Structure 1
């Protein structure tokens, strides 16, 4: 009797212990998708533990100016074979103007052959038809660029110079698409399957958060599932302990939860940084191999709101920096990371107008300096971006200072540690096959039942790095649970 009393006192002082049939860790796309599958089968004995103070995970929509903008996932990539499109086809729109980019070099708009478009197409050709074992996307892309673009202009010094400087922009675009810091680490061969159709479908001011409401059948009308009482925010998980017939989850705040099954949905970045500390006992060597050899770095987004739209008909801009520009940057923008021959701002080259939000622009930043640039203040980012816009567009536009500057911090946020996964050259060289499938394999308890399940974009074998891949993995684990619980 006394021992039970002391246990109750301990629980009250050091954390509340509670139980649920299922614990879903993470309220991102995969966690919400898992919950939706359970609810469809009238399974309600579950809770969701979310480390952030909001739901959505790497979907982060917020209202600014005239609509929602996305600091995380923004586009629905493809139509046929895409779960997100199937769910949201009535609410997303085509934006053909996304392919119309005004390129500025040395302060003037480039005319003539569209090398930016040619470079983009070259990436898709390389990634779709790459019979190159153990080679990186950087190796193959450079080889193809040299034998096509640079060879074509070998007798034209002006175009050769421009094509060489544009190469950094093309590299930055590849890194943004792959979510990597270094294109020599990304495998040219990939098991990723591109869904047919438009790759830049837009939510047109609704924000990607809408997909969460669609999953819960609360869009366009709030008539679906209300799971507010099942989601616990600010619950960073420190330990997942596998018992004989149950799982015990301990949070950073000291709270303890027990369940029959746990679905772990946090990012591959979290697994890379904390899997040894989180899981007790440690994960299998095969699963650890997959975690350590898949890639997970990050990109950054910059959201700018202006008092008025100073641009004209052009909606998307690409800025190409030359060697003199980089020397000017070292003098004019003294803050932020740089090397002897490079400056962080020279990796910033693309800005586009936010869909259905006429005073807002969205910039994409990728490359080797992302982690350090995330640590800059909004004031520093704002000064650097205003400098960029004036330098490249000052002759054609009366550029004004932004009223609001917001930049993402996915890489430095301990709850994410980056943006999305990619397959590495190292993975291929070590002949690690089916890494995504290995990552998704459940962990069994002492009774042989599947106790710890894994979801998230990195666990999808062919649509990793996408929201629809995350949703698909959540459906997969939700169906697995239904089969075990029904």
Structure 2
């Protein structure tokens, strides 16, 4: 008990004696007082004392979990992860519908290749699905007529063989220039139809890249691996696998980081846990927050503020905007593997309308491998947030009408249920994944990854897919970045005996 509490106790006893209260009453009140004072003192102590660690990691996504796992494996065990949400995984979020996994966030391992660090984990643990994601499936015009498969396949083959030369243009301009060359390889009477199929491809590219193509740079150092794979039983299995190696006691969920102060010898982190403010400190801190969160909150998140060079890089990169829409049918109108990926050939007029009318940014309906009664579609770009905020019944009605037109089936019933992702309006994410913007420099990803105050004295470090120049927007890019920063810390510890 502190001095103030003791003085209050003495005053309390004097007053009760002066008022002639009985001894029993005094005794019971005294017990109550001590219990209340003790709880208050304990709460005050808990809230004000700093929890001390060697390394604090902000965010329990793949990057944060991977950093912690690597540190612990290499002997740096006094590690904690501060996660704002009530779940771990970051943009990996698997929901289960009737026991079947549905990926609300990240969908695939991008590349069945031994150079892919996440693919290797999946293979070692029997999680890698051997089936590659493809564009297989019929392609329909808006009048319900199917486009000749041989023409569609020829177009996609031509696109795949296109060499993306250095260009200062936007991805939109770059692709349109590409089509001008490709279209000459088709008969004149097929070119208009092929342009509609190409518009599907452009909207598919919005999904791949994350946003409106006129906002994105055609220049990129991204290194791709062939074949996108699912995880057996959902990507959450990968998250749990890594998290189990970290240990539940090291992960603090519902701990929202309010400020990271790296101005002193150690990093001080202010955290909100419910209504309680907590304080943590560490020799090193790794921020793995999303690029979207950095764009919106960097001014208040860091003390001192981030260097201008880093802020410019954050501003240059685009953090994609997109929404997944899942349509559930009690009685599917298709047979298993009949649709696969039903592609919509879209007119130039509708493509332009898509900037303002979200329904024209819908370009496919895809069967879900693990959920046979579910179709997936996506909307990316300027209209994505609108869809996230829309009434589900309105979404259902518009998508059903679109399907009726393209399948020429006016009797097609509405979906029985709609689920949409909410990444663009999620205040801890504010988007999907990172990609070079039209004003980006090649070094922007690396600039964001630079530790502070500098690489010789790394105190505040940065990880996440937005810090990977060659593997941004991917799971393996996230994991690589977390391990990269863990190695940086370990090297610093070895050089200085900091721990």
TM over 0.5: yes
Larger CA deviation: 49-58 vs 93-102: 93-102
Change (3 A) 1:325 1:440: closer
Q: What's the counterpart of residue 462 of structure 1?
A: 470
Q: Deviations over 1:3-48 (max 9, x none)?
A: 9x9x979955966642222111001010110111022124321211
Q: 2:166 aligns with which of 131, 147, 152?
A: 131
Tell me which residue corresponds to 1:333. Answer: none
Deviations 1:163-216 (A, max 9, x none): 343343222111111112x21222112110112x31x21224x11112223334
Could you list the runs of 5+ residues in structure 1 that have no partner in the other structure? 217-223, 327-337
Consecutive unaligned residues of structure 2, counting only runs of 5 or more, are: 7-39, 495-499
The answer to whether the aligner puts 1:70 opposite 2:97 as a matched pair is no
Task: Kindly indicate whether the alpha-carbon contact (under 8 Å) linking 1:102 and 1:109 is maintained by their aligned counterparts in 2.
Answer: no
Decide which of 98, 111, 118 is 2:147's aligned counterpart. Answer: 111
Aligned to 2:207, what secondary structure does the other structure show? helix
Question: Residue 60 of structure 2 aligns with which residue?
Answer: 27
Matched, 1:409 2:428: no
CA contact (8 A) 2:56 2:79 kept: yes
Match of 1:18 among 51, 61, 65: 51
Counterpart for residue 224 of structure 2: 194
- Alignment CA distance shift 1:247-1:10 (3 Å): farther
Aligned to 2:383: 369
Question: Are 2:79 and 1:54 aligned?
Answer: no
Higher RCO (C-alpha 8 Å, min separation 6): 1
Aligned counterparts of 2:159 and 2:280: Cα–Cα separation in 1: 47
CA offset at residue 239 of structure 1? 0.9
Change (3 A) 1:226 1:33: closer
CA deviation map 1:339-387 (0-9, x unaligned): 6996210111211111232122221222331122221133332222222
CA distance in 1, matches of 2:132, 2:334: 18
Asked if 1 retains the 8 angstrom alpha-carbon contact of 2:67 and 2:485, the reply is yes
**Paired residue secondary structure (2:363):** strand
**Cα separation, 1, equivalents of 2:246 and 2:187:** 63
CA distance in 2, matches of 1:229, 1:444: 30
Match of 1:178 in 2: 209
Q: Kindly indicate whether residue 188 of structure 2 is the aligned counterpart of residue 155 of structure 1.
A: yes
Label 1:97 to 1:460 Cα distance change in 2 as closer, same or farther (>3 A): closer
Q: Highest CA radius of gyration, 1 or 2?
A: 2
2:332 to 293, 298, 309: 309
- Shift in alpha-carbon separation, 1:121–1:408, aligned structure 2, 3 A: farther
Residue of structure 2 aligned with 1:444, choices 446, 450, 453: 453
Partner of 1:335: none
2:138: which partner in 1?
Answer: 102
SS at structure 2 position matched to 1:147: helix
* Counterpart pick for 1:421 among 434, 443, 458: 434
Assess if the C-alpha contact under 8 Å between 2:128 and 2:230 holds in 1: yes
User: 8 Å contact 2:89–2:239 — kept in the other structure?
Assistant: yes
- Secondary structure of the 1:184 match is helix
Task: Decide whether aligned partners of structure 1 residues 96 and 248 sit closer, same or farther in structure 2, where only a CA change above 3 A counts.
Answer: closer
Asked if structure 2 preserves the Cα contact closer than 8 Å seen for 1:11 and 1:17, the reply is no
Q: Secondary structure at the match of 2:306?
A: coil
Looking at structure 1, the residues matched to 429 and 86 of structure 2 have their Cα atoms a distance apart, in angstroms, of 13
1: CA distance between counterparts of 2:48 and 2:160?
52
Cα gap change, 1:436/1:346 in structure 2, threshold over 3 Å: closer, same or farther?
Answer: same
User: What RMSD, in angstroms, separates the aligned Cα atoms of the two structures?
Assistant: 3.1
Contact 1:455–1:470 (Cα < 8 Å) also in 2: yes
Is the CA contact (8 Å cut-off) linking 1:172 and 1:367 kept in structure 2?
A: no
Q: Secondary structure at the match of 2:461?
A: strand
Pairing partner for 1:40 from 59, 73, 89? 73
CA deviation map 1:285-313 (0-9, x unaligned): 22112111112122211122221332122
Q: Is the 8 A contact 1:169 1:347 kept in 2?
A: no
Match in the other structure for 2:24? none
Cα distance in 2 for partners of 1:174, 1:38 equals 37
Please identify, of 338-347 and 464-473, the stretch whose mean Cα deviation from structure 2 is larger.
338-347
Judging by fraction of residues, say which structure has more helix: 2
Give the Cα–Cα distance (whole angstroms) in 2 for the partners of residues 296 and 478 of structure 1.
25
- Aligned partners of 1:87 and 1:214 also within 8 Å: no
**What secondary structure does 1:362 align onto?**
strand
Aligned-residue offset at 1:104? 1.5
Q: Provide the rounded CA distance (Å) in 2 between the counterparts of 1:78 and 1:448.
A: 34
In structure 2, relative to structure 1, the CA distance for the partners of 1:121 and 1:476 (3 Å cut) is: farther
Distance 1:433 1:105 in 2: 39
CA distance in 2, matches of 1:118, 1:65: 39
Give the aligned length. Answer: 452
Where do 1:251-290 residues align within 5 Å?
251-253=271-273, 254-290=277-313
CA distance in 1, matches of 2:175, 2:366: 25
Q: Alignment partner of 2:261: what SS?
A: strand
For normalisation by structure 2, the TM-score amounts to: 0.82
The aligned counterpart of 2:16 is none
What does 1:80-91 align with in structure 2 at a 5 Å threshold? 80=113, 81-89=115-123, 90-91=126-127
Change (3 A) 1:147 1:449: closer
Q: What's the counterpart of residue 238 of structure 2?
A: 211
Judge conservation of contact 1:378–1:405 (CA < 8 Å) in 2: yes
Q: State how 1:343-422 maps to structure 2 within 5 Å.
A: 343-395=357-409, 399-422=412-435
| Aligned residues of 2:132 and 2:229 also touching (Cα < 8 A) | no
Q: Which moved further from structure 2: 238-247 or 399-408?
A: 399-408
1:243 equivalent in structure 2: 263
Question: 2:320·2:381 contact (CA, 8 Å) conserved in 1?
Answer: no
Does the residue aligned with 2:54 lie in a helix, a strand or coil?
strand
